[in-house]
Structure formats: C-alpha cells, structure tokens
C-alpha cells in the first residue's frame, strides 16, 4: 500500500489539457465541415429543383401554344405549322425567357424536334442553357376550349 501524501496536488497536467483541447478542436472542425457541405448540397438541390420546374413550365407552354389551331380544306380543326419563339417569358418564373426552333421529323411528319434556349440574368450577366424535346403536332383539347370560350377565337384557314 502506498502512503498518501497530504501535500500532493490534485488536477490535470498541462499536457492533458492541451491534448483535450486538440481533440475538441478536431471534433468541432469536422462538424463545421459537415454543416457547410450539407448546406452546399441543399443549395445545389434547390437550384436543380428550380431548373426542373422551369423546364416543365416551358414544355407545358409549348405543348399548349406551339402549334396554332387552323382549319383544313374540309373545315376540320388541325394543328398548324409551329412558329419559332423569340424571348417568350416563362409562366411563373420572373426574369426567365426562352426561344425555340422547330424541325420536323422526316420519318414522322407529326413529330417535331424543338430546340429550346432558356435565358436569364444573374449578377449582371446573361446566362443561357439549351435543351431539346420532341413534340407531337397537336393542339390539346383544353387549349382548343380556352381559345373558343375565353379568347373567342375561331381557327383560320390553313395556309398553303
């Protein structure tokens, strides 16, 4: 048995305190690194979600308005030839516009390849992003009703 010394000091040595602070520093640094990494992932996900929403809005707008409603020789309503779009604002997305160029598919005249270019300005710089989609040459039933009932439009004779 070891005799106890009454004047022995109790507590931590300087080396133990420095070692504990080093372990705490490493732990806090790794936690802060994970938080900033998570914030960057959340921002990227939000930007991608916004871009996907904008693309869906553009494609929906094209499906409704890209082909004008016309009358053929028998007086039936048909979808006319598409017109290229220049700087049309994207519904629901302020500051975002798009333009298109349509090319018919030689193998299927009812199918068009539509090249779309989105434009927006951020930080004083105009940015663009392009994508392609395929559209069928048709005017949806809902758009036909909207033109007749809301806009009171009647289809024009098809241009030859």
Task: Quick: pLDDT tens for 16-29.
Answer: 999 999 999 999 99
Q: Which of 134, 57, 120 is nearest to 87 (CA)?
A: 120
The pLDDT assigned to 98 comes to 94
Provide the β-strand partners of residue 114: 102, 133
More confident residue, 158 or 62: 62
Q: Global pTM?
A: 0.67
State percent of the chain over pLDDT 70. 88
Average predicted confidence (pLDDT) for the chain: 84
Count, residues in the chain: 160
CB atoms closer than 10 angstroms to residue 51: 14
How many angstroms separate the Cα of 58 from the Cα of each of 15, 29, 37, 51, 114? 65, 44, 32, 11, 11
More confident residue, 69 or 102: 102
Mean pLDDT of 122-147: 85
The pLDDT assigned to 75 comes to 75
């Amino acid at each position: 048995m070891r005799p106890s010394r009454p004047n022995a000091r109790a507590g931590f040595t300087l080396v133990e305190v420095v070692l504990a602070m080093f372990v705490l520093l490493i732990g806090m640094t790794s936690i802060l690194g994970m938080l900033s990494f998570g914030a960057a992932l959340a921002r990227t996900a939000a930007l991608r979600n916004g871009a996907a929403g904008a693309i869906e809005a553009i494609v929906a707008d094209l499906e409704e308005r890209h082909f004008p409603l016309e009358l053929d020789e028998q007086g039936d309503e048909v979808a006319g030839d598409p017109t290229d779009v220049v700087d049309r604002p994207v519904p629901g997305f302020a500051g975002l516009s798009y333009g298109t160029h349509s090319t018919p598919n030689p193998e299927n005249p009812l199918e068009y390849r539509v090249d779309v270019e989105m434009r927006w300005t951020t930080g004083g710089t105009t940015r663009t992003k392009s994508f392609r989609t395929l559209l069928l040459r048709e005017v949806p039933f809902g758009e036909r009703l909207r033109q007749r009932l809301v806009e009171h439009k009647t289809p024009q004779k098809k241009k030859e």
